[in-house]
Structure 1
Amino acid sequence: MKVWGLARFVVVYELRLWAALFRWVFRRPVPVEPGTSRFGYIGAVRMILIAFIAVSAIEIPILELMIPWEPVANVLLFAGVYGLIWMFGLYASIVVHPHLAGPSGLRIRNSLTLDVGLAWDRIAAIEVRRRSMPPGGQTQLEDGVLSLGMASQTSIDVRLTEPLVLPVRKAKGQPVTTVRFHADDPEALVGAAREFLGQAATKNR
């Protein structure tokens, strides 16, 4: 079952990656709820991804010249081209799946691997707070604080009204009281979020 589950994950991931590349190339953003604003987060990793793409592109003709055996060269050429397109797809998946702040709540995302939704009545406060993360990966949970980093940094703190179990694998079902994540323009995201929080508070009076 684990093998089939992994195979299914890989297939679905690849299909969604190609769909993201299609949307990015043809500038067709994913439809969102009316009144929703998009906030990117690729800035922290843009140069790293561009460097990987450049290296992948340079490797293709070099390997073609270095390998004298045509069958092997053709296989490596296919792998190189596919890898290059895959890197563009990864870049695209980050661009076309931004954070969202809309009437229904806040959605914190990271490419195709993370999508955490928080209703406004679950959020007590949100603020800009730039932090560097310690070693331990881009997703860390300690003392109820869930850090969802990009390039080992976060720039926004979200304090929840009560402990919540969020659909994040590394959280392992443990309750979370604060979520930290990164956005390229944290001030704009926090400003939009506070407007929705104010509207939600007015409705609940």
Structure 2
Amino acid sequence: MIPAARIAHHRRAAHLAPAVVIVAAMLAARLPVAQSHPALSLWLCLWLAADSLLLSRIARDGPGRPDARTVCATLAGACCLVSIAAPPALRAASLAMPGTMVAMALALLAHLALAGRQALAIARRDGTAARWESVAAQFLPPALVRLARAELVVLHMALLRWGGPADVPPGARAFAYHRHLTPMAITLLSLSAIEAAVYHVFLGHWSRLAALAMFVVSDLGLVYLVGVVKSFRFRPILLEADSLRIRAGLLLDVAVPLNRIESVSMAIDGADVRDAATLNAALLAWPNVIVHLRAPIDHHRLLRRRSIRRVAFRLDEPEPFVRLLQWRLGQP
């Protein structure tokens, strides 16, 4: 049997391989030999993009014949990527070949038709607000849809939410952790604003274009930082009916089933906190609560997967949380 670590490594490689192949193909298409044969270079780029994307999908989903939706989505994605990233000579060659344009248009239309039928079925079946993410994932790559959703959540948190209650589902008990973070968060925001202003002044004397680019990057980063800081209050740690949901604003959201929890304590051992099997969710402070698990659970972070046996975090008032969780676990 193949170890789980090797399977995870293969899946990460399957995610990264298409990007490497497509970037290499686009760079090779800018070489003089490729520029002198634009039609052949265009077809090679289309073939490499479609082949790498389809093989990556098969590697992630497992062995088996891909369905029509997967094939059409892969061909449409390859056509869009090559059309956007190809050099001008290759784009001009595609316009000069009507057959190529018709084939690319048919692949895109087939993908839109199949994805539209599936999206319509999801919209009719699912009545929740999250259905729009599933609908969009039928037309666009799911990773891109999740990234766009995360961006919209951060911007909404930073620009539109300035008051109101925290995000607490019905039947859940919330425990705050943001009070000890408030002074440090205000200091961090102030230093970031001062740093951005200083960069604007100095770069403005050197290059107006560089000052404008830094203005966009620094101000957007400041907006994101405001959203993350505000999320600490709006997203507390939750004790739900059957799980403990450990959150750190927009940075972390881990659900731990109550039947996996062995014990909870405020006696913190430094060796346990520093252990690789411990998820330390305390922000800018030492944790004051640690939860020990009966069996490890998987925690996915970007392209990494960790097996955790303990979760440490910090609460503003840890005693009520520990008493309530011990009562829920049937412990004295």
TM-score by length of 1: 0.72
Alignment of 1:178-197 (within 5 A): 178-197=310-329
- Partner of 1:153 in structure 2? 286
Kept in 2: contact 1:100–1:107 (CA 8 A): yes
- Partner of 2:155 in structure 1? 18
Are 2:239 and 1:101 equivalent residues in the alignment? yes
Letter in structure 2 aligned against 1:186? P
Letter in structure 2 aligned against 1:40? A
Are 2:174 and 1:174 equivalent residues in the alignment? no
Alignment of 1:15-164 (within 5 A): 15-21=152-158, 24-34=161-171, 36-66=172-202, 67-68=204-205, 69-130=207-268, 140-142=275-277, 145-151=278-284, 153-160=286-293, 162-164=294-296
Letter in structure 1 aligned against 2:311? V
Hey, which of these two has a bigger chunk of helix by percent?
A: 2
Kept in 2: contact 1:141–1:147 (CA 8 A): no
Secondary structure (helix, strand or coil) at the match of 1:153 reads coil
Secondary structure (helix, strand or coil) at the match of 1:167 reads strand
Give 1:154 deviation, angstroms. Answer: 1.7
CA offsets per residue over residues 18-75 of structure 1, 9 Å max, x none?
A: 23335641425324122x2212223454433322210122234434443135444333
Letter in structure 1 aligned against 2:265? E
- Partner of 2:80 in structure 1? none
Q: 1:82 to 1:163 in 2, by over 3 A?
A: same
Q: 1:182 to 1:74 in 2, by over 3 A?
A: same
Letter in structure 2 aligned against 1:157? I
The two structures, once aligned, show a CA RMSD in angstroms of 3.4
Q: 1:53 to 1:122 in 2, by over 3 A?
A: same
Letter in structure 1 aligned against 2:286? Q
Q: 1:102 to 1:135 in 2, by over 3 A?
A: closer
Distance 2:244 2:273 in 1: 27
List alignment gaps of at least 5 residues for structure 1: none
Letter in structure 2 aligned against 1:19? H
Which has the greater radius of gyration? 2
Give 1:135 deviation, angstroms. Answer: 9.8
Distance 1:13 1:80 in 2: 19
Secondary structure (helix, strand or coil) at the match of 2:307 reads coil
Q: 1:48 to 1:196 in 2, by over 3 A?
A: same
Q: 1:31 to 1:101 in 2, by over 3 A?
A: closer
Letter in structure 1 aligned against 2:290? D
Give 1:90 deviation, angstroms. Answer: 1.2
Distance 1:166 1:80 in 2: 35
Q: 1:11 to 1:129 in 2, by over 3 A?
A: farther
Higher relative contact order (CA 8 A, sep 6+): 1
Question: What is the aligned residue count?
Answer: 191
Secondary structure (helix, strand or coil) at the match of 2:183 reads helix
Distance 1:163 1:78 in 2: 46
Hey, which of these two has a bigger chunk of strand by percent?
A: 1
Give 1:78 deviation, angstroms. Answer: 3.0
Identity of aligned residues (%): 20
Secondary structure (helix, strand or coil) at the match of 1:174 reads strand
Letter in structure 1 aligned against 2:325? A
CA offsets per residue over residues 77-104 of structure 1, 9 Å max, x none?
A: 3333222211111102222221101323
Give 1:165 deviation, angstroms. Answer: 2.0
Q: 1:75 to 1:38 in 2, by over 3 A?
A: same
